[in-house]
Chain A
Amino acid sequence: MKKVLSIILALSLVVASFSACGTKEAQDTKESQDAQVTQGTENTQDTADGKFVIGGIGPLTGDAAVYGQNVKNGAELAVNEINAAGGINGTQIEFLFEDDEADGEKAVNAYNTLKDQGMQILMGTVTSGACASVIEKTNTDKMFQLTPSASSTDVLKLGNLFQVCFTDPNQGIASAKYIGETALAKKVAVIYNSSDIYSTGIYEAFASEAKNQNLEIVAAEAFTADSKSDFSVQLQKAKDSGAELVFLPMYYNEASLILQQASDLDYNPTFFGCDGLDGILTVENFDTTLAEGLTFLTPFSADSADENTQKFVTSYKAAYTDAPNQFAADAYDAIYIIKAAIEKSAITSDKSVSEIGDALKGAITQITFDGLTGTGMTWATTGEVNKTPVIFTIKDGAYVLAQ
């Protein structure tokens, strides 16, 4: 009996799903017909039904949820601003966001869900691992994909994805160059997270560029996601090897522990990091005086005096109470970059996904974009962004430009 029942339950679910998608399809065709009709009859009012559907994918649950949430909020803020100001060339934007739990398999499901909802442009995904799965799908569908924060080089290999953030190797190289050129140190120790793509990606590029800059890496100590609370061993090794500078390619939570534990060990080298360290001053119960002198490379800082940044931070705080981090800024920029590319190509929302994709792919390499995360941003056909890295030092509890 229970078998019969479970079969019925399963079948009803299947039937429900089929019927759901059936009606959706029907609606879609009806809508597109309607749109065509309105366009045929009154050309002047073509914006009534047509709108650009931009999809976003990122983790809203799980360990990386904070990044996904920031991206979602940042993008929504930008979409609301654009819509309030009359949209893109008069066309409104609809923004949809789906959870991928930072997992490749779920990201593909999220992508398919968004496609069913009529997504035309993808702003995602937030994490590199998930992104590496989705690029295959966007490549097949020829959909335009712009990621705010997937920074690994793996995601660029199909050449259909554009990044708002720096690639990991670029950050590593820029860091090594800065340390070498400003003669900040000769002996360098690195502590990195070997289970994290972001961290290892930066470390590897840093290690190879360090040779060119005559930096000596005296200690390269790894930790993993399972052991990220006690760093005394790694710090002791760095101290014993006589490193004058400790390079921290990681996120701010672990870095705050490292700074705390280094001061407990009475070890005071220069600490240098990447954009993951943005937000270290907001860590709860963290003595911010420990971060004094911390230097890092980041495209965005919520404390920056820049007028646009302040405007963004104020409206973000008004809408979501928390202060935004660089992920939110990347997403905010991403939406405006899509807007700029649409305006450049003069594509309209009634075109097919692949037509919009081709048009935007051509247009994005021609635009120069000034945003929160960099000025004069341009894109190569490979998808990598070209912008100048900005280096900040923390002085008296505030970010100060180091250059």
Chain B
Amino acid sequence: MNKTGLNSMNKFNKSTINNIITIALIIVVYVICQILISTGVMSNLLQGLLVPICYYSILAVSLNLTVGILGELSLGHAGFMCIGAFTGAFFSKCTATILPNVFLRFTLAIIIGALSAALLGALIGVAVLRLRGDYLAIVTLAFGEIIKNVINVLYIGLDSKGFHFSMKDTVSLNLLDDGQVILKGAQGISGTPQNTSFTIAVLLLIITYLLISNLIHSRSGRAIMAIRDNRIAAESVGIDITKFKLLAFSISAAMAGVAGVLYSHNISSLTATPKNFGYNQSIMILVFVVLGGMGNIRGSIIAAAVLTLLPEYLRFMQDYRMLIYAIVLIVMMIFNWNPTCVTWRKNHPIKGIFSLLSNKTKKEA
């Protein structure tokens, strides 16, 4: 970290320039959005979507670490988001009266969400990272579902005597009169304070971006990529495979946890339904990563933003909305990644069109 910092002081290397470009892009978009909000030009829909774009971007960036950099297919990413969301919301709800300072409480909630997701990521990682390829994908898928289902049967209440747990129903919690049920099984947690703001979400996105891009360009990052490229060669030069795999996997889980905390503090009701934390969500995040380009962090952010906006702006299509969305998704995938399209794009660059135009105008002049 220090060494790369020094390097970049002397001459900006490629990765630093890349970082600066991406962060500058995020900040420019942020400033434009703030101006539009303050002048009242921005629609309510877009204002409401700003925070979701940020947390979906964080999810995509974090999954990119597992899929693009570590090279392992994980289909349980929504499960880690779920853990972050529930622990964060649980903490905020318990301490709502004790900690009136919103900034402190929310910061703690984010840290707790990240830590618990990282812990679970490490626990699961120990078990599943021994597997490779399809098997790993299947097992992570199962873990994602397990997390969701466990939360769905968990009842936790709080009264003056402390916490009460149950796996059956709220009646069997035996709460005192002053007690309150915090986690109500399938009904989840409701009434979480809405602390997430666009500014905080953008800040966290930048932090996530910096953390992951610095990790990639650090010694550990190179080790992780060496494992991806050739496991046997990496092992033969003395890279501790389990350690680096676990490192990447738990950091990825921790960031998903942060996104979860943002999610749970953005809308006031939180339930672990297949819709928001099921495998469909995991696959959705994977789609962000694949469309944005595996290993390409900036691409993940852009893909997450575009694919979050798209279904909302297709609302005018009424019942055909999700159908069109799917078609657009397929077209985008083909256009971005189909080899024929890639060569076609290389032969017909946009810069070429610009230079053609400028030549034309020069001739005309």
Contacts and interface: CB of A to CB of B under 8 A. Distances in A.
Interface string B265-279: 011111101111000
Interface in A55-106: 60-62, 98-99, 101-105
B187 A109 contact: no
Nearest to B187: A197
Contact of A105 (B153, B276, B306): B276
Given A108-B48, A157-B191, A113 B315 contact: yes
Contacts of B41: 18, 21-22, 25
B8 to A, nearest CB: 21
A200 B185 contact: yes
A336 interface: no
A208 B273 contact: no
Interface string B329-347: 0000000100000100110
B77 interface: no
Interface SS of chain A: helix
A133 B268 contact: yes
A2 B43 contact: no
B39 to A, nearest CB: 10
Given A2-B345, A200-B185, A102 B275 contact: yes
A194 B155 CA distance: 11
Interface stretch (B64-72, B116-124, B130-138, B297-305): B297-305
A194 B186 contact: yes
A129 B299 contact: no
Interface string A170-183: 00000000000000
Given A3-B299, A112-B47, A105 B267 contact: yes
A61 B187 contact: no
Given A133-B269, A136-B194, A112 B186 contact: no
Contacts of B306: 6, 9-10, 13
Contacts of B298: 3
A14 B194 CA distance: 26
Nearest to A116: B43
B44 interface: yes
B312 A109 contact: yes
B315 A115 contact: no
Interface string B284-327: 00000000110010110011011001101101000101100000
Contacts of A4: 350-351
Contacts of A110: 315
Contacts of A25: 40-41, 43
Interface size class of B (residues with CB under 8 A): 35 or more
A129 B310 CA distance: 24
Contact of B186 (A62, A104, A195): A195
Contacts, number: 155
B269 A132 contact: yes
Contacts of A152: 187
Interface in A19-45: 20-22, 24-25
B196 interface: no
B169 interface: yes
A122 to B, nearest CB: 13
Contact of B187 (A2, A3, A154): A154
A203 B168 CA distance: 12
A13 B303 CA distance: 12
- With most chain A CB atoms within 10 A of its CB, the pick from B40, B169, B190, B270 is B190
Contact of A21 (B46, B296, B319): B46
A102 B41 CA distance: 29
B125 interface: no
B299 A6 contact: yes
A207 interface: yes
Interface in A341-357: none
Given A6-B302, A197-B186, A200-B186, A62 B275 contact: yes
A17 interface: yes
B171 interface: yes
Contact of B48 (A109, A154, A157, A220): A109
A319 interface: no
A133 B194 CA distance: 10
Contacts of B153: 194
B203 to A, nearest CB: 21
A101 B273 CA distance: 12
Given A112-B43, A112-B45, A196 B186 contact: yes
Contacts of A130: 269
A6 B43 CA distance: 24
Nearest to A137: B48
Contacts of B319: 60-61
Contacts of B313: 13, 16-17
Given A129-B273, A194-B169, 12 more contacts: A5-B345, A6-B303, A13-B306, A13-B309, A13-B310, A18-B42, A104-B270, A105-B52, A132-B269, A195-B152, A204-B170, A225-B274
| Interchain residue pairs A-B with the least CB separation, the first 9 | A132-B269, A21-B43, A112-B44, A112-B48, A112-B45, A133-B267, A195-B186, A115-B44, A103-B275
Interface of A: 1-10, 13-14, 16-18, 20-22, 24-25, 60-62, 98-99, 101-105, 108-113, 115-116, 129-130, 132-133, 135-136, 152, 154, 157, 194-197, 200-201, 203-204, 207-208, 220, 222, 224-226
22 contacts: A1-B349, A4-B350, A4-B351, A10-B306, A13-B310, A14-B309, A18-B42, A25-B43, A60-B319, A104-B267, A104-B271, A109-B48, A113-B312, A116-B44, A132-B269, A133-B267, A133-B268, A133-B269, A194-B169, A194-B185, A195-B185, A224-B152
